[in-house]
Copies of this chain bind each other. A is one copy, B any other.
Amino acid sequence: MSRPAAKGRAVAEAGVARVSDATLCGFIGYHMKRAFNVVQADLNQALKPLDLRMVTYSALVLIVDNPGLRQSQLAEALDIERANLVVIIDELEGRELITRDRVPTDRRAYALHATLAGRRLYDRALEAVRDHERRILNGMDEESKQAVIRAMSVIRRGSEGG
């Protein structure tokens, strides 16, 4: 009788009543991380039926869109180490979604090309990712989307020049 015990909480004190992240909320980066976690989780969920992860999906898209791409170009575009790209390419090639074609004029390099199966999966994946974005953006208006893209570009640009 003497203690209402908020929302059915039991006797033992349960630390703080509510965790405040007010300080962290003062930083854009915090909001970006939290939101990106959601995006990544949902995206991987959306790609799972196609047996793709974020990185294999991105790689496939760039290979389809840039026929003849070299592995080192792809690694740079994806911002991952050449060494780590190898296993990704191995996987896509093993599933016969892409081919590694020796380049006659530079026998060190491989030119990457998507197979028909690769292009078909590309189409399906694109569809799945469009659905995913519609879902996570939840009816966000076009203006807001553009504002985000502009802001993200500012951040990205900053890391290049001086």
- Which A residues lie at the B interface, using CB under 8 A? 11-16, 19-24, 27-43, 54, 58, 61-62, 65-70, 73-74, 76-77, 79, 103, 105-106, 109, 111, 126, 129, 132-133, 135-138, 140, 144-145, 147-159
Contacts and interface: CB of A to CB of B under 8 A. Distances in A.
**Copies of this chain:** 2
Contact of A38 (B70, B77, B156): B156
Given A13-B106, A19-B73, A70-B14, A159 B42 contact: yes
A21 B62 contact: yes
Nearest to A126: B23
20 contacts: A12-B103, A15-B70, A15-B111, A16-B67, A16-B68, A23-B61, A27-B129, A28-B133, A28-B137, A29-B133, A32-B36, A34-B152, A35-B151, A35-B153, A39-B155, A41-B159, A135-B158, A144-B147, A145-B151, A147-B148
